[in-house]
Amino acid sequence: MQREEKQLDSALEAIIMRVNDLKTAIAAMIFKLEHEYETLNWPNFLDNFALISGHLTSLSKILGNDKAPIMRNLAVLPLLLSPEKDEDLMRLTECRISTFAHDLVPDYLRTKPEPQAEQKMMQLEVKANNLSYDTAHDCNKQVTQYNKVLSHVWDIANKAREEWEGEAGSRATQAQTSSAADTHVLVAAVGVGKGLKSDSVQMVQSGVSPVPSGMMVGRSGGQPQAAGQGPLGNAQMGQMGKTPSAIKTNIKAASQIHPYGR
């Protein structure tokens, strides 16, 4: 008897630990569903579900172990029923159960599901047993094809992400071949002539004519004349080639001189 009691105590301790782990995983999953539903994605949900499934598998292994006592041969009987508030019961149940009264004991110590839930489970079992082999096989094929499509889409998304990350890294390491400041200066010079005024003044001071070579504007007719032609062509060319003199001269117009001097 003492050996069986020790085995029972150790098995109950291991079962309680696994049940607590299972309870923690379920509470974390419920918390995410209620508070993180906007950012929760399908892979994270599957990870939480896999964690719960792992705890259930561990619990099943403990219950199915050869050294563990058969729990179905044991019965739980209430030793004391009281409608008053029990502090120890609240501490053990994390404030879920405050009293151990007559109307609550059948639900707390129930070893079978509720009648409505049991009836629903029986209907589902009958429906599953009535499915033909072809229908079940078709359902399995559809599930397999759907999983293949999901895996293919997942691989495409991962490949595209790797390509985008590689392109972003290559752009960051690529040497710069242009200058934004020089581009703005060129656009301003071509568009509004910014920075070109000082260059034209230097050309005039150095004796270079802004008018194209070989063409000079005449004084009287306003028609273009070839360089070196006309009465003022040679003089203008000579003056442009010389450095400006510091002596001021006053040249009168020819129309003011009388043809007959007195």
- Domain edges within the chain: 1-73, 85-111, 114-159
pLDDT digits (tens, 9 = 90+) for 68-125: 777 777 777 888 888 888 888 888 887 888 888 888 888 888 877 888 888 999 998 8
CA triple 11-12-18, angle to 5 deg = 90
Picking from 67-76, 187-196, 240-249, which range would have the lowest pLDDT averaged per residue?
240-249
pLDDT digits (tens, 9 = 90+) for 25-48: 998 898 888 888 888 888 888 888
Cα 245 → chain centroid: 75
Spatial distance between the Cα atoms of 108 and 92, rounded to a whole number of angstroms: 14
Query: What is the per-residue pLDDT for 248?
Result: 52
CATH of domain 1-73: 1.20.58.1710
Spatial distance between the Cα atoms of 226 and 213, rounded to a whole number of angstroms: 9
pTM: predicted TM-score of the whole model, two decimal places: 0.40
Q: What is the mean pLDDT of residues 175-204?
A: 73
pLDDT digits (tens, 9 = 90+) for 218-234: 444 444 444 444 444 44
